Chain A
Amino acid sequence: MQYLLLIYDQESQWGKLSEAEQGKMYQEYGDFTQSITKSGHYIGGNQLHPVAKATTVRVRDGKKLITDGPFAETKEQLGGYYMIEAGNLDDALAIASRIPSARFGSIEVRPIVARGERP
């Protein structure tokens, strides 16, 4: 099964880290990505720019509405994601718990609807 691991944490906390601390974090993420690539779980994943750079678009009555910012203001923001292949939820949760941000943020684990299936 495929799962999307959504990484939520407080963006403001990231800015408070020193350069050395940020470097350590990137290192940890690099090691983690490498390890799940080696184990064959990794499908894809990216870090996202802060929500300040988000733009939200909606189409209503055929009209395109474009607004600055994320679709909703939340205490923790979506900061990145991994897409993985895992045998079952337990395997996916075990991988999610190894994401560095799991220690201070939250990882939402969402099963992906397989092609041709309906949720």
Chain B
Amino acid sequence: MTIEQIYREESGRILATLIRLLGDFELAEEAVQEAFAAALEHWPTEGTPANPRAWLVSAGRNKAVDLLRRRACFAGKRDELARLGALAEVVAETPEESMVNDDRLRLIFTCCHPALAREAQVPLTLRTLCGLSTEEIARAFLVPLPTMAQRLVRAKQKIRDAGIPYNVPADDELAERLDTVLLVVYLVFNEGYNATSGDVLIRRELSSEAIRLGRLLHTLMPESAEAEALLALMLLHDSRRDARTNASGEIVLLEEQDRSLWHCDQIAEGLELTERALARGARGAYALQAAIAALHAEAKRPQDTDWHQIVALYELLLQQQTSPVIELNRAAAVAMADGPQDGLRLLEALAERGELKGYYLLPAARGDMLRRLSRWAEAEEAYRDARLLVVNDAERRFLDRRLAEMQQRGGRRAPTG
């Protein structure tokens, strides 16, 4: 492994352990940077140590002692000296795997603490647990680098000054706090999966980081059926990543996807996790969405999809959270289960309420249902409405293709150029 790979794999673990040892988020972060700088200096000539992580933790601890000593001399502060004394007591231990995992779990709960703004929780988690650079995170969220850097600095200052703890919350708080953690992971995944714009490569990385985090949570909290369901949901969605766009980057709808491109290993794992989570009583939004994704994944051909059950699952989802987007999805499922006419009726009622005004998928879904009813001119108009609202190139190209198709079917000449 190169140092870069080790950084990617291990920096989150090392940081988590050093925060526990040092009791100081920012000091630990500095120590990690210095430890890796030392590795860059020593390893090429002296060889990579047998246990790189233990080496880095101990180097980080020593660097922190140096940093504190320098600060103490500079400021002549008693408390810095006292901390230094306490730190000298900490043996350069090689933490056991289980202990490292506990450290990481504590760190997730710190980064996703509700006292931090959502716009800080997500980047802080990516920065500290996934080892993404501030620049990468800024690019992924289309935020200028100085803005993102400042957001992270402020979050860390608040952790220190407000005394946000570095621990797994007590039982009576755990369920609620775990919800926030799961939501952060889910947001990271969605940011990568439903790219509306931005750097494709970075976004793919976000999805896989979210899956890594989801896996970590599931390993560390096996008792949480919701964490299991979230992992299942992400795996099932991600299994379709190579089939979702074609060679020219155009979006391919589920029913038109080449199912041989779906990743079977992820589907198998996702199905098993979904089943287990449901059997254990998970009925939250992640579990229901995972169950929907599982029904799609199980269909060998589009026409084998159990649309009636999918409609039922959307109904359950709507009982939990009223959301016009879920209603839109249900309408699309109804169109598949009972025919486009029924879907169209639901869609029109939804459009009348106006909540989805400006959301391109509403006219796009309408266009799709009208297309199935061979009402070409109306479909063309709906696709045209959708095209005005779309922000992503892949989606725009998809609508252009549909528009051309409608014009042809409607007996009109496809536009040239």
Contact = CB atoms under 8 A, between A and B. Distances in A.
A116 B173 CA distance: 34
A47 to B, nearest CB: 25
Contacts of B161: 111, 119
14 contacts: A86-B163, A87-B163, A87-B165, A88-B163, A88-B167, A89-B163, A89-B164, A90-B164, A90-B165, A90-B173, A91-B165, A92-B163, A111-B163, A116-B79
B162 A111 contact: yes
A89 B115 CA distance: 9
A1 interface: yes
Interface residues of A, number: 14
Contacts of B165: 87-91
A92 B161 CA distance: 13
Nearest to A111: B162
Contacts of B170: 90
Contacts of B164: 88-90
B410 interface: no
Closest 10 CB pairs of A and B: A88-B165, A88-B163, A1-B163, A89-B163, A111-B162, A89-B164, A89-B162, A90-B165, A111-B161, A111-B163
A90 B170 CA distance: 10
Contacts, number: 31
Category for how many chain B residues contact A: 10 to 19
B284 interface: no
B324 interface: no
Nearest to A113: B161
Interface in B110-163: 113, 115, 161-163
- Highest count of chain B CB atoms <10 Å: which of A111, A116, A119: A111
B294 to A, nearest CB: 37
A90 B169 CA distance: 8
A111 B163 CA distance: 8
Contacts of A93: 115
Interface string A59-95: 0000000000000000000000000001111111100
Contacts of A116: 77, 79
Interface in A84-119: 86-93, 109, 111, 116, 119
A59 B15 CA distance: 48
A86 B163 CA distance: 9
Nearest to A109: B162
A87 B165 CA distance: 9
Contacts of B167: 88, 90
A119 B165 CA distance: 18
A39 to B, nearest CB: 15
A86 B165 CA distance: 11
Nearest to A2: B163
B115 to A, nearest CB: 6
Nearest to B165: A88
Contacts of A111: 161-163
B117 to A, nearest CB: 15
Nearest to B78: A116
A2 to B, nearest CB: 10
Contacts of A87: 163, 165
B224 to A, nearest CB: 19
- Highest count of chain A CB atoms <10 Å: which of B77, B162, B164: B162
A10 to B, nearest CB: 25
B78 to A, nearest CB: 9
Interface string A18-52: 00000000000000000000000000000000000
Nearest to A1: B163
Interface in B86-124: 113, 115
A111 B165 CA distance: 13
A119 B115 CA distance: 18
A115 to B, nearest CB: 11
A91 B162 CA distance: 11
Nearest to A3: B163
Contacts of B163: 1, 3, 86-89, 92, 111
A116 B162 CA distance: 17
A36 B167 CA distance: 23
B332 to A, nearest CB: 42
Contacts of A119: 161
